A and B are shown apart, each in its own frame.
Chain A
Amino acid sequence: MFQCHIRNMVFLLFNKCIINLNRKIMDNNDKLGYLNIDDSLYQTRISNKFQNRKSYKPADPKIILSFIPGTVVDIMIVKGQKVSKGEDLMILDAMKMKNKLKCSMDGKVKSIAVKKGDKVSKGTVLLELE
């Protein structure tokens, strides 16, 4: 199921990037896209991995993300509370360790995206500061 899902996604992406088709290779039921290397456009098949790569976003100190998958076992702050750098915000239970999440800056809690007991995967937004 999971694989089918990914394949379909890729297929859609593929259709978007097709500019030209080479008949000989079309016989193999594969589609060609273009890859830019040093200002030259190469006609070629584009891998799933390349299609699905995540574009880079710089880290935002105002958004606290889970650095590891785990369970939120305690939340020490409330919405609107003033917090200072280094203050404990939450406890994330992961890999048999209770990890204290520390505040990255002086500010105020803008919103809390999780509640006690929530299971979170890596990179989930836990709370936002302002």
Chain B
Amino acid sequence: MPVNKKIRELQEKREKVLLGGGEQAIEKQKAMGKRTARERIMALLDENSFNEYDLFVEHDARDFDMDKKSLPSDGVIIGSGTIYGAPVAIFAQDFTVAGGSLGLMHSRKITKIMDHALKMRIPLIGINDSGGARIQEGVNSLAGYGEIFYRNTISSGIIPQLSVILGPCAGGAVYSPALTDFVFVVDNISKMFITGPEVIKTVLGEEISMEDLGGARVHSEVTGNAHFFAMSEEECFEQIKKLITFIPWNNSQKARAFEPGEPKPEYNINKIIPEDPTLPYDVKDVIRAIVDNSDFFEIMELYAKNIVIGFGRMGGRTTGFVANQPLEMAGVLDVDSSDKAARFIRYCDAFNIPIITLVDLPGYLPGVDQEHAGVIRHGAKVLYAYSEATVPKLTVILRKAYGGGYIAMSSRHLRADFVFAWPSAEIAVMGPEGAANIIFRKEIMTASDPDGMRKQKVEEYKTKFANPYVAASRGYVDAVIEPSETRKFLMHAIEVSGNKDVPMPHKKHGLPPF
């Protein structure tokens, strides 16, 4: 039968292309501890959910004898599928085909699936594993990158965009992940940099390994370019799947609701915070004492640890958490933590996720390095992000809320919808020691016992101002609550803010200080 013959022909064609760069190249990929592009897609998506497109696309290079070469699928796999039933568009660069290098048709496949994701309003996942531009294709290759960056930017804030770095991602190629919402890296596999170790050695004479220059750890701990760090590809895929459960498909929807569950009893909210405001504790324990099932999904865990960001659920609904971390650098705001928090606040705002802010900070980090690194500009990002955000904003002042830090951390003045404070809250212009030294300078200096006088004045200031009641008397704090009442108050606040609508004055776009 002629039809069967044609079907067989298709099957044969498919089989040939599905081998990618061939058995040898696949073996090499495996030897590096990496899966092949198709294996990655299969491991990430729901079973049998992947539909592949553009399988038979061929490259378009004519120079340097490239026309004699065949590159199966031109080194990138595109398609769509589901993760826990949620639709996603996906592309994965295939390192076994010409090192996953990006040529014209390769880039057209990527932009095709990006256009598809934007049109269908579904999340886009990009798996990056590429040696970079395909030099033989010249400016067409550069054009390809530019077309991808443009689409990343236009899709930003409309559909979630996730970048997974599972191999090299160097030179201009790094800017696609940098423009997306979340970047996932895996220890010893991910490598990202603008200029590689060889160029650095030639130009500057500085020797550094790829891993130390732009490995997964560096981007998770030092640069802040990556949001999720995993020890294996498997762990990385679990992180992606979990993230997908927390975020909506697009900016006109809310994240899926889950069955609510009470926090675990081992997180006893009454016993987490030491009374002395100078002693540390782990603010993640407070979050776990508040969220459903004590399940807190942290983002950028290793970077700027003095602020904690991540997702949890309240009554089954996704909620973003921003919390000062007294355990790290006393929870101060600085260049890195401001940058980290501001971007997350804007993410939540773009995707209809309410924000809960837990406040306990002594202020901003002092230092020449901070001032010279632009803590003014970076700190302003937090003010901008909170002020601009129109999703429900709920604030709980746990302990210290001093000075500019008080204003920045989702205060009433930046339009928090609900501000709650624990009895341990200290809302003041600065810490009691500093304030007493300034206000009572004369008394302290002229006293017969200056140290005794200072202690007395610090105590005086503490009783008078280091509490939540002055702010509550002005209505800046809506309710002073017991720690054990926190979840109840927050759940109710989220419930009543479900239809929040804040009309903003018309503008093309604002000018956040970035």
Do the two shown chains form a genuine complex with each other?
yes
Interface positions of A (Cβ within 8 A of B): 1-3, 22, 25, 32, 35, 37-47, 49-50, 53-56, 69-70, 94-95, 119, 121
B431 & A40 in contact (Cβ 8 Å cutoff): yes
A3 to chain B: closest residue by CB: B212
Residues of B within 8 A of A70 (CB): 203-204
Contact A45 B328 (CB under 8 A): yes
A39, B437: Cβ atoms closer than 8 Å: yes
Find out whether the CB atom of A69 lies under 8 angstroms from the CB atom of B329. no
Chain A residues with CB under 8 A of B402: 38
Complex CA–CA separation, A56 to B331 (angstroms) = 24
**Minimum CB–CB distance for A23 against chain B, Å:** 12
Contact for B329 among A38, A44, A56, A121, CB less than 8 A: A44
Known: A40-B434, A50-B365. 11 other contacts (CB 8 A): A22-B280, A25-B282, A38-B433, A40-B278, A42-B330, A44-B329, A45-B305, A47-B306, A54-B369, A69-B206, A121-B204
Please list 16 pairs of residues, one from A and one from B, whose beta carbons are closer than 8 Å in the complex, sorted by A's number: A2-B209, A25-B280, A32-B280, A35-B329, A37-B330, A39-B431, A40-B277, A42-B280, A43-B279, A44-B326, A50-B365, A55-B368, A70-B204, A94-B203, A119-B204, A121-B204
**Residue B2 CB within 8 A of the other chain:** no
Q: Is there an interface contact between B434 and A43, defined as CB atoms closer than 8 Å?
A: no
Task: Tell me if A1 and B362 are in contact (CB < 8 A).
Answer: no
B437: chain A residues within 8 A (beta carbon):
39
Q: Are A38's CB and B279's CB within 8 A?
A: no
| Contact A40–B203 (Cβ < 8 Å) | no
Q: Is B430 an interface residue (CB 8 A)?
A: yes
Check B209–A42 contact: CB distance below 8 A: no
B329→A46 contact, CB < 8 A: yes
Q: Contacts of A49 on B, CB cut-off 8 Å?
A: 336
Evaluate contact between A38 and B363: CB separation under 8 angstroms: yes
A39 to B458 alpha-carbon distance, docked (Å): 11
Residues of A contacting B212 with CB < 8 Å?
A: 1-3
| Best-buried of B330, B331, B369, B434 by chain A (most CB within 10 Å) | B330
Known interface pairs A44-B326, A47-B328; A37-B205 also in contact (CB < 8 Å): no
Are B332 and A35 in contact, CB atoms less than 8 angstroms apart? yes
B22 within 8 A of A: no
User: Which residues of B are found within 8 Å of A44, using beta-carbon distances?
Assistant: 280, 326-331
Question: Which one of A42, A50, A69, A121 lies within 8 Å of B278 (CB-CB)?
Answer: A42
Per-residue A-contact encoding for B318-338, CB less than 8 Å = 1, 0 else? 000000001111111000100
Q: How far is the CA of A15 from the CA of B432 in the complex (A)?
A: 29
With A and B bound together, what is the CA distance between A56 and B370 in angstroms?
11
**A40-B362 contact, Cβ under 8 Å, with A22-B280, A69-B203:** yes
Residues 396-431 (chain B) with a chain A CB within 8 angstroms: 402, 430-431
- Cβ contact within 8 Å between A35 and B330: yes
Residues B434 and A39 in contact, CB atoms below 8 Å apart: yes
In the A-B complex, list the 10 residue pairs whose CB atoms are closest, starting with the nearest: A38-B434, A119-B205, A42-B330, A39-B433, A56-B368, A2-B212, A37-B362, A40-B431, A69-B204, A39-B434
The B423-469 residues at the A interface (CB cut-off 8 A) are: 430-435, 437
Interface residues of B in 233-286 (CB under 8 A from A): 277-280, 282
Is B367 in contact with chain A by the CB < 8 A criterion? yes
Q: In the complex, what distance in Å separates the CA atom of A39 from the CA atom of B280?
A: 17
Measured CB to CB, the nearest residue on chain A to B367 is A53
Bound Cα distance A3, B302 (Å): 15
B280 near A1 with CB under 8 A, answer no
Distance in angstroms from B204 CB to nearest chain A CB is 4
What chain B residues lie within 8 Å of A54 (beta carbons)?
A: 369
Residues in B whose Cβ lies below 8 Å from that of A50:
329, 365
**Chain B residue at minimum C-beta to C-beta distance from A35:** B330
Residues of A within 8 A of B332 (CB): 35, 37
Residues 349-371 of B, flagged 1 when their CB comes within 8 A of A and 0 if not, give 00000000000001101111100
Q: When chains A and B are docked, how far (Å) is the Cα of A32 from the Cα of B326?
A: 11
Please tell me which one of the listed residues B217, B282, B363, B435 contacts residue A37 in the complex, with CB atoms under 8 A apart: B363
Taking CB atoms, residues of chain A closer than 8 Å to B331 are: 44
CB of B135 within 8 Å of the partner chain: no
| Contact pick for A41, options B217, B278, B365, B432, CB 8 Å | B278
